[in-house]
């Protein structure tokens, strides 16, 4: 049964674009170059939904590894070079077009750095569909997810109360942000990086519904792709 919301707030990576494989491989290379040999599962746990600073903080806390001074600038250069062409998750463009046709407001709220966020949208061909409603932590004092500020801000820019929105997420930090903001949070499991364990984690932080594809998401929202 379709549910009505004032707006839909999307995460980006793993929800609209399939960067998780690219990101995982890039992190693996960077870690290996510094003699940090992590499994794919460990890399996903450390990096999914996190900003660079959050990843480095966890490495320090869990492994006692401290990044050198030039590490963050190097990360920026390496990641920027990876997003010239970004695969779109199947059906994501159709979902945005369906929401637009139904006049249902939507926005993207991502932990990506500002320029990198636009680079990803351009590389995926989604920039025109998203328009100006793509928001990053620089707009809320660099308080990225799991802080709720970014979702609260995105809802305000759409002119709606965040409690009347549905947040579409695939990571625990993002889901925590949506729940803390007071929104309804749904988990979209269309990206290949999420396993059953990922679903259990998302349930634990307050995700109330799971969808396996954008087609299921459109049906749940009651919107159809325009002819």
Is residue 52 over pLDDT 60? yes
Contact call for residues 150 and 142 (beta carbons, < 8 A): no
Contact call for residues 86 and 120 (beta carbons, < 8 A): yes
pLDDT score, position 54? 86
User: What is the share, in percent, of the chain residues with pLDDT greater than 90?
Assistant: 63
Residue 21 burial by CB count (10 A; 0-12/13-18/19+): exposed, middle or buried?
middle
Beta bridge partners of 134: 108
Q: What is the pLDDT of residues 154-204, one digit of tens each?
A: 999 999 999 999 999 998 999 999 999 999 999 999 876 555 457 888 999
Is residue 46 over pLDDT 50? yes
Hey, where are the domains in the chain? 7-19+86-221, 20-80
pLDDT band per the 50, 70, 90 thresholds, residue 19: confident
The answer to which of 50-54, 146-150, 165-169, 206-210 has the lowest mean pLDDT is: 50-54
- What CA–CA distance (Å, rounded) separates 83 from 211? 26
SS (H, E, C) the chain: CCCCCCEEEECCECCCECCHHHHHHHHHHHHHHCCCCCCHHHHHHHHCCCCHHHHHHHHHHHHCCCCCCCHHHHHHHHHHCCCCCCCECCCHHHHHHHHHHCCCCEEEECCCCHHHHHHHHHHHCCHHHHCCCEECHHHHCCCCCCCCHHHHHHHHHHCCCHHHEEEEECCHHHHHHHHHHCCEEEEECCCCCCCHHHHHHHHHHCCCEEECCHHHHHHHHCCCCCC
The CATH class of the 7-19+86-221 domain is alpha beta
pLDDT score, position 163? 98
Fold entry, domain 20-80: DNA polymerase; domain 1 (1.10.150)
pLDDT score, position 193? 54
Question: What is the chain's mean pLDDT, rounded?
Answer: 91
pLDDT score, position 196? 46
């Amino acid at each position: 049964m379709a549910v009505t919301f004032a707006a839909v707030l999307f995460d980006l990576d793993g929800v609209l674009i399939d960067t998780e494989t690219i990101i995982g491989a890039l992190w693996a290379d960077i870690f290996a170059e510094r003699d940090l040999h992590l499994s794919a599962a460990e890399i996903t746990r450390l990096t999914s939904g996190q900003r660079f600073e959050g990843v480095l903080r966890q490495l320090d806390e869990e492994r006692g590894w401290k990044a050198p001074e030039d590490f963050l600038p190097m990360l920026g250069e390496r990641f920027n070079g990876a997003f010239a062409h970004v695969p779109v998750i199947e059906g994501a463009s159709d979902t945005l077009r369906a929401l637009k046709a139904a006049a249902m407001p939507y926005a993207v709220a991502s932990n990506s750095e500002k320029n990198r966020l636009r680079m990803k949208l351009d590389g995926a061909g989604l920039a025109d569909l998203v328009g100006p409603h793509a928001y990053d932590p620089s707009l809320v004092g660099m308080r990225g997810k799991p802080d709720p500020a970014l979702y609260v801000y995105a809802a305000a820019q759409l002119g709606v109360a965040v409690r009347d929105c549905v947040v579409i997420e695939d990571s625990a930090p993002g889901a925590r942000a949506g729940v803390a903001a007071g929104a309804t949070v749904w988990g979209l499991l269309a990206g290949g990086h999420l396993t059953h364990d990922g679903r259990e984690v998302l349930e634990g932080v307050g995700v109330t519904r799971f969808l396996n594809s954008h087609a299921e998401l459109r049906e749940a929202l009651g919107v159809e792709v325009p002819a």
